[in-house]
Chains A and B, each alone.
Chain A
Amino acid sequence: MKSYLLAWRNLWRNKRRTLITVASVFFAVFFALLMRSLQLGSYAHMFQNVIESYTGYIQVQNQDFRDNSTVDNSFDFTPDIRKLLLSDPNVTNLVPRFESFALASTGPLTKGVLVMGIDPEKEALLSDVRHRLVRYRLTPEAIDSIKQMDIPGNVKSKLDLFRGESYASPSILQLDLGIKDRDAGKIMPGIERVTRISNGYLTAGKKEALLGDDLARYLNLNIGDTLVMIGQGYHGTTAAAKFRIVGIVKLPTPDIDNKIVYLPIGVCQEFYNAPGMLTSMALTVKNKSDKAINRTLKSLGKQLPSPLRLLGWREMNELLINQMDADNKSGAIMIGILYLVIAFGIFGTVLMMTTERRREFGVLTAIGMQKSKLAAIVSFEMVYIGLLGILSGIAAALPVIIIGQYHPIRFSGEYAKVYESYGMEPVMPFMNVNNYFLWQSVIVAVIVLIAIAYPVRKIYKMKLVNSLKA
């Protein structure tokens, strides 16, 4: 009989032992995959957050703007440059920006703010400010009337925790209040009705502004109020003007939410005395893969006239990438520890198995089986166990990861607040199936192969008399 067949039959002679060993490999693969997927997923999510909602994949800037981000380092956006940028097949659209700083003030309160001139329509391709408009707010009056409603006690206690909080979507509101999905249909419409606030959007050419929610709260401003801003304009001129607040936005990054002011781009250029100038032009791309973006960077970079330069998303987010790298290292250490624990787990079961079968090995050798054949059979057994464990691990992890991708783990309550205070959106998505799957499997397989060495060595060094007595 072929040794691989014998090995297969051997496996099912003692099902329980086999299953214990398979389980140890299974958990190794399952947890390593989930951990890695979560980690890579949250990096990708963070990049996507920043890139797709802020910087874009490629930007055109004046070459001095990055080191010295003043309005004096803006550039004149001519029709020729526009034509050149759109000539690249991967570039789908252009999103103009004019960014600078100013002091915003109301009454005695003043705060340094980030002023962002945007094209109200085209910006939807990137940061989609319109969808960030606050639609619901837990005002003290709203909280009072919600408390009159027929709602569960735990929701009532959460109301005070989130007093004054603003929401752009009803789902986050529901989550913060801890309302279960089955109750949502009954409770949410009423809550939405009392918390709803009307909110407008920018119109090109009008002296209007959108404010971050935190900033509006700090300055004690609301829709319809006047925002006064003063700053330094192009070539040292004074930039000072009044704007009507038409809307409040809630941005996922608290660090931006507490200082952002959006203006229509034309109005912003006029405010800074820089008509026709831009600080950056973000390009939206068809193909977001690194290869396609590098090709676009290369071909456009050669053709752009001298004061202008192209920046890829890696260059624009250097700090973030460095932070991720550092975090990735600590993640690698964690996963290393996990592997160590797993390796000893697998080794432990193998050790147990070898000791248990000492007598069996002895008898087989005594009736004339070659030690090499015996070692081969045991090795096959281990390979099968490894394969079973790895495949079942992948099979179990796959649905979790796929579901987690579409329904990321979202923290609520106090946890969410902690996350937000660190400037992160409180979600933890999984990473799509990728080559990290292969790597986790390979590493576990290597651990199993190393573990084979022990029984093989034991078989070759076996003293027949002793093992028969065992």
Chain B
Amino acid sequence: MMKKFYFILFSLLFPAAPAYICAQQLTAKEIVKKADEKFNGEKSSETVMAMTIVRPTWQRTVEFKSWTLTRDYNLTLITFPAKDAGQSFLKRGNEMWNWNPAISRLIKLPPSMMSQGWMGSDYTNDDIMKESSVVNDYTHEITGSAIVEDRECWVIKMLAKPDAAVVWGHQVRWIDKKDFLLLKAEYYDEDGTLMRTETGSDIKSMDGRMIPTKLVLKPMDEPGNSTVVVIKNIKFNIPMQQSFFSQQNMKRIH
């Protein structure tokens, strides 16, 4: 009797424990969805980032500001270096445009450019567009647990649905059990060859949420290359209008 009482008391004192027990009930798909929302915001977000492109003989940093509204709208403005500053990228649904103030041209990025590096980094235009959904275009399965960054994580294998327009054959994601943080991801091609890894670290509280603020992307076929993204500031679920994501605004925003 007493034993049972202590157990209930223990549970009340340490709410994380029942949360853990509850989370066990979550499906793999829900975990991935929560982790995705955690980072991108349920509705909208505003982020200030610095991206460092690392190559064997040199490295270069680009800073930018990015606004997102649901999965469909995104606007990114380059703020550093001066030569690139003022360039902006707009995503609306499946389409992407680039505004370049040096030539006063609005360029629509064709589908053929989607697999090319964004601003010379290892991120492709497709990564930035996030045309495919990690929630809807994959089937998810929890394959185990592991410790990443001193945190206990679910290991989730995501297999691309046969009819989904995705780049990868399958992905493996390590998602923190407590805060639903994506701490590590491996991307494989159709033949099951590891193509790149992405790791999250420097977990900090930003706008009331714990998130990894440093993301490192390493392409496997090019040793010595990597791209490091550091999140300097992020705000979640701020009021945003669809009209903000317009071609006119791309040119106006500074």
Task: Write the residues of chain A forming the contact surface with B, with a CB cutoff of 8 angstroms.
Answer: 105, 228-230, 232, 235-238, 240-242, 273
Contacts and interface: CB of A to CB of B under 8 A. Distances in A.
B218 to A, nearest CB: 17
B103 interface: yes
Contacts of A240: 100, 102-103, 105
A460 B250 CA distance: 103
Contacts of B119: 236, 238
Contact of A236 (B87, B105, B107, B120): B120
B43 interface: no
Contact of B83 (A228, A230, A273): A273
Contacts of B83: 237-238, 273
Interface string B33-55: 00000000000000000000101
B117 interface: yes
Most chain A CB atoms below 10 A, which of B105, B117, B120? B120
Nearest to B120: A236
Q: 10 closest pairs, A vs B, by CB?
A: A236-B120, A240-B102, A240-B100, A228-B103, A240-B103, A235-B60, A242-B103, A238-B84, A241-B102, A235-B58
Interface in B48-69: 53, 55, 58, 60
B102 A237 contact: no
Nearest to A110: B107
A237 B60 contact: yes
Contacts of A242: 102-104
A235 B61 CA distance: 10
A132 to B, nearest CB: 27
B60 A230 contact: no
A273 B62 CA distance: 14
Contact of A105 (B53, B84, B105, B121): B105
A235 B120 contact: yes
Contacts of B107: 230
A242 B104 CA distance: 9
Interface string B67-103: 0000000000000010110010000000000001011
Contacts of A228: 103, 105
A66 B107 CA distance: 31
A238 B81 CA distance: 11
B105 A237 contact: no
B120 A241 contact: no
B217 to A, nearest CB: 14
Contacts of A230: 100, 103, 105, 107
A236 B54 CA distance: 11
Nearest to B117: A236
Interface of B: 53, 55, 58, 60, 81, 83-84, 87, 100, 102-105, 107, 117, 119-121
Contacts of B100: 230, 238, 240
Contacts of A238: 83-84, 87, 100, 119
A242 B100 CA distance: 11
A423 to B, nearest CB: 28
Among A230, A240, A241, A273, the most chain B Cβ lie within 10 Å of the Cβ of A240
Given A230-B107, A273-B83, A236 B102 contact: no
A236 B53 contact: yes
A76 to B, nearest CB: 12
A241 B102 CA distance: 6
A236 B102 CA distance: 17
Nearest to A270: B83
B120 A237 contact: yes
A321 B120 CA distance: 36
A302 B100 CA distance: 45
A236 B51 CA distance: 13
A235 B227 CA distance: 13
Contacts of B121: 236
B62 to A, nearest CB: 9
A75 to B, nearest CB: 12
B57 to A, nearest CB: 8
B28 to A, nearest CB: 37
A232 B120 contact: yes
B87 to A, nearest CB: 6
B224 to A, nearest CB: 14
Q: Among B55, B60, B102, B104, which residue has the most Cβ atoms of chain A within 10 A?
A: B102
Which of A229, A232, A237, A241 has the most chain B CB within a 10 Å cutoff? A237
16 contacts: A105-B105, A228-B105, A230-B105, A230-B107, A235-B55, A236-B53, A236-B121, A237-B60, A237-B83, A237-B120, A238-B84, A238-B87, A238-B100, A240-B102, A240-B105, A241-B103
Contacts of A232: 120
A207 B117 CA distance: 28
Contact of A235 (B53, B87, B102, B105): B53
Nearest to A103: B107
A236 B103 contact: no
A242 B101 CA distance: 11
Contacts of B81: 237
Name the residue among A228, A229, A238, A273 with the largest chain B CB count within 10 angstroms. Answer: A238
A388 B169 CA distance: 82
Contacts of B103: 228-230, 240-242
A469 B81 CA distance: 107
A237 B100 CA distance: 13
